[in-house]
Structure 1
Amino acid sequence: MRILKQILGALALCSVAFAATASPAAPVSGVEYQTLASPQPTDTGKKIEVIEFFAYYCPHCNALEAQLEAWVKKQGDNIVFKRVHVPRDESVLPQQRLFFTLEAMGLLNQYHKKVFHAMHVERNRLNRDEQVFDWVAAQGIDRQKFIDTYRSFGVQAKVKRADGMMDSYKIESWPTIVIDGRFQASPHLASAGMQGNPSEAELQAAALQVMDFLVAKAKAEKK
């Protein structure tokens, strides 16, 4: 009888261990993600707004891009995905204006990854206006039309708005993804729930899992 009890006890422990492995704990606010003290308004109806705060010069943003693109595609109609290029200093301003100009001209989807490639593979710093103009012309974009948009009031307004959003959304590092105007997720935050010394790919995968959780959470709360 004692042996039978020991066997049953061992099986029970194995069952508990298996359940813990099969059903990992949900991400926790203040650990794997942050909840903004002041939620920001969204304009996406029943769909969940997802905003990536990024910079073209940022190697971690570049490393995340392919995985993030696949994640957005997987989410489909669940979300409305947006990007905001963060400010830093005068050397980054041309890159920021490049982003908002491509967006204003309806060319962002076509050239977004090409900008990353130019900076991180071809080592084109794109930190001066003329460098940006030369690069876009080499891509076959109308140089003068681009320059006119680049210097337009509309692009200037978007740059200024990005500065304000940094404060409103409490952005301190990037890439950071804000979900439903309330939740911050990132590879950096995801590391808080991981042991050892995870690789960047592991941090990215963990962040995307947290984002899955937050989109589902926000969607459930909208019903």
Structure 2
Amino acid sequence: MFTRALAFLAATVLSLSALAAAPEAFEGHEYTRLKNAQPVATGNKVEVLEFFWYRCPHCFQLEPGLNAWVKTLPKDAQVRRVPAVFRDDWMPGAKLYYTLEQMNLLDRLHHKVFDAYHVENINLNDPAMLGGWIAKQGVDRKKFEGIYNSFSTQSKATQGAQLATTYAISGVPAFIIDGKYTTSVSMAGSQARLFEVLDQLIVKARAERGSKKPAK
């Protein structure tokens, strides 16, 4: 009787696990395969590109969930954020991102930039407002402005804009997995489903690389 009870319990657990498993992502609806795969910048790791814009409300809403999901990534996957530039007024946000990256301040200030735009209603596109805000964050304003206005930062922002063009990105947030697949919240239908689709595409990309899942 005890053995039968254990068998029943095990079967129940397996059934619940099957029910809890995410359904397979639907190609052509929840994601698409790119006609021309592009090289990635992450070496042996599966690349997950996120195209975003600091002033995009959908990017702002996605950020908490995205940060939580990033912490669950397998060791052989890496997220790269790329600020898209579709118009001239998107360039200041791109330059801001790459300036923070070069100053190793993204971990501390990336989310605060989103909050400044969307919660505090601060126009960081205005150089004077940006300079005052960055100083309040305890950052050397002169050093920041020197990097922000540098040729290297402008070049990084321009390269990011060109990358969005290469992948034919028409809106943000959008994701490219290993240079082969594209998906988004609108394609997946919800934030929760987006992360399920991303997980599955990482698995697909790993298999196509001929790699094994890394040990935890």
Q: TM class by shorter-chain length?
A: 0.7 to 0.9
CA distance in 2 between partners of 1:20 and 1:170 (Å): 37
1:31-180 alignment, distance < 5 Å: 31-180=29-178
Q: 1:120: how far off? A: 0.9
1:125 to partner: Cα distance: 2.2
Taking the aligned partners of 1:43 and 1:159, their CA distance within structure 2 comes to 16
Q: 1:210 aligns with which of 191, 197, 201?
A: 197
Show structure 1 runs of 5+ residues with no match. 1-17, 192-202
Structure 2 unmatched ranges of 5 or more: 1-15, 211-216
- Across the aligned residues of Structure 1 and Structure 2, the Cα RMSD in angstroms comes to 1.8
CA-CA distance at 1:44 after TM superposition: 2.2
Q: Which of structure 1's runs of 4+ aligned residues deviate more than 6 A?
A: none
**Structure 2 residue matching 1:101: 3-state secondary structure:** helix
- Alpha-carbon spacing, 1:149–1:27, altered in 2? closer, same or farther (3 Å): same
- Stretch deviating more after TM superposition (90-99 or 60-69): 90-99
Give me the whole-angstrom Cα distance separating, in 1, the residues matched to 2:182 and 2:139.
35
How many pairs align? 195
Q: 2:40 touches 2:178 (CA, 8 Å); kept in 1?
A: yes
Using the alignment, how far apart are the partners of 1:189 and 1:112 within structure 2? 26
Greater Cα radius of gyration, structure 1 or 2: 1
Give yes or no for contact 1:91–1:128 (8 Å, CA) kept in 2: no
Match of 1:184 among 177, 182, 185: 182
Q: Could you say what secondary structure the match of 1:77 adopts?
A: coil
Other structure's SS at 1:92 match:
helix
TM-score, normalised via structure 2 length: 0.84
Identity of matched residues, %: 40
Which aligned pairs between 1:9-20 and structure 2 lie closer than 5 A? none
Alignment CA distance shift 1:62-1:24 (3 Å): closer
The one-letter code sitting in structure 2 at the alignment partner of 1:119 is Y
Contact 1:49 1:180 in 2 (8 A): yes
